[in-house]
């Protein structure tokens, strides 16, 4: 018999883009009441039941294919919000995404549908190349911010980590891109420039799973699955409030050391996202992702 979990908060998903690629599958699983997930480290399968689920946090780069699922969510799982990654790196780095203007339009439409407080903008990860310097990143962020600043309250970012992930090193090399990490001096330079830019937009700025403290620049450390935001948005949900108020330590121990997210269960599977972003640590290769994508669609 499979081990079973009945989480109050579902993450959908850090491992793959469910709204963009697996919307029908996801709604079918909600209707069935559970999902079977395979542990990416030991291969063991376990059951995640939705019988206690009160909140779903979505992670996506293109939620447009999911728009027709929002009616079902609003009826049966009305407590949700989106982490929307909206970068400007082009097809050499983010291979299979719609063009930037299309994704900006999608961001605005999502915000208009569900409210800007439920759409978090992520420019993530920040990376440098032979053709992208800090000036370029600031200009890219400025260009997007000018169009969406009325449709979100928050901008979250992190710096690319290449050294830690062998598969990312391999994918970057194979892609022909020269992509570089930030050293601490460059991180400091970037956040200083970003804080200055933000005087124009007044976003809440936050880093994701970074170990450097940038509070002197008005930049906090983020919780992507955030008890403070949950209390603000869903205070009338008794189960969520009981979870937040009764547990002494809400930190999700299954995440990286610097991650500050509270407890949830992720229902996505690695090696299933077909966006083919060069920097992605969740996919080993485009071939494996396409194979698993077809498997999920037929399953």
Phi and psi of 291, rounded to 5°? -65, -50
- How many of the other CB atoms lie within 10 Å of CB of 23? 19
d(CA 175, CA 53): 40
Alpha helices by DSSP H, 92-133: 100-114
> Across residues 149-165, what is the average pLDDT?
96
Q: Is the pLDDT of residue 257 over 80?
A: yes
Q: Is the dihedral of CA 33, 39, 43, 44 positive or negative?
A: negative
What is the gyration radius of the CA atoms in the chain, in angstroms? Answer: 19
pLDDT of 1 > 90? The answer is no
Q: What is the pLDDT of residue 297?
A: 62
- Provide, rounded to the nearest whole percent, the portion of the chain with pLDDT above 70: 99
> What does the DSSP assignment read for 193-248?
HHHHHTTTT-PEEEESS-SS--GGGTEEEP-SS-HHHHHHH-TT-HHHHHHHHH-S
- Is the model's pTM score more than 0.85? yes
Percentage with pLDDT > 90 across the chain = 89
183 touches 299 (CB < 8 A): no
**pLDDT at residue 294 tops 80:** no
Secondary structure class of 84 (helix, strand, coil): strand
Q: Is pLDDT above 80 for 136? A: yes
203 is written with which tokens?
A: 């976003």
Strand order across the beta sheet in which 219-221 lies: 219-221, 204-207, 154-159, 119-126, 80-85, 55-60, 9-12, 265-266
**Element (DSSP H or E) covering residue 187:** helix 184-197
Task: Output the pLDDT for position 247.
Answer: 72
Cβ 253 vs Cβ 260: under 8 Å: no
Cα–Cα distance, 28 to 242 (Å, whole number):
29
Reported as a single tens digit per residue, the pLDDT across 189-214 is 999 999 999 999 999 999 999 999 99
Q: How far apart are CA 67 and CA 51, in angstroms?
A: 24
pLDDT at 222: 97
Q: How far apart are CA 18 and CA 92, in angstroms?
A: 23
- Interatomic CA distance for residues 133 and 135, integer angstroms: 5
């Amino acid at each position: 018999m499979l081990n079973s979990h009945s989480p109050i908060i579902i993450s959908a998903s850090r491992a793959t883009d469910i709204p963009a690629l697996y919307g029908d599958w996801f709604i079918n699983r909600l209707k069935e009441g559970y999902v079977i997930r395979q542990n990416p480290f030991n291969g063991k399968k376990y059951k995640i039941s939705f019988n206690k689920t009160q909140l779903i946090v979505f992670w996506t780069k293109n939620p447009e294919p999911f728009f027709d699922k929002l009616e079902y969510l609003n009826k049966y799982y009305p407590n949700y919000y989106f982490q929307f990654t909206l970068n400007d790196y082009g097809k050499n780095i983010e291979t299979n995404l719609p063009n930037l203007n299309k994704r900006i339009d999608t961001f605005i439409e999502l915000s208009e549908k569900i409210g800007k407080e439920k759409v978090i903008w992520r420019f993530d990860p920040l990376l440098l190349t032979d053709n992208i310097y800090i000036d370029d990143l600031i200009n890219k962020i400025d260009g997007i911010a000018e169009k969406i600043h009325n449709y979100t309250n928050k901008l979250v970012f992190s710096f690319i980590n290449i050294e830690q992930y062998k598969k990312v090193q391999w994918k970057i090399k194979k892609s022909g891109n020269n992509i570089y990490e930030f050293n601490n001096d460059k991180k400091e330079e970037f956040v200083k420039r970003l804080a200055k830019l933000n005087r124009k937009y007044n976003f809440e700025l936050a880093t994701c799973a970074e170990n450097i403290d940038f509070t002197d620049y008005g930049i906090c450390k983020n919780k992507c699955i955030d008890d403070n935001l949950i209390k603000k948005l869903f205070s009338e949900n008794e189960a969520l409030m009981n979870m937040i108020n009764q547990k002494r330590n809400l930190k999700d121990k299954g995440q990286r050391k610097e991650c500050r997210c509270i407890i949830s269960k992720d229902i996505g599977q690695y090696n299933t996202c077909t966006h083919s972003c060069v920097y992605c640590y969740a996919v080993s290769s485009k071939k494996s992702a396409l194979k698993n994508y077809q498997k999920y669609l037929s399953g």
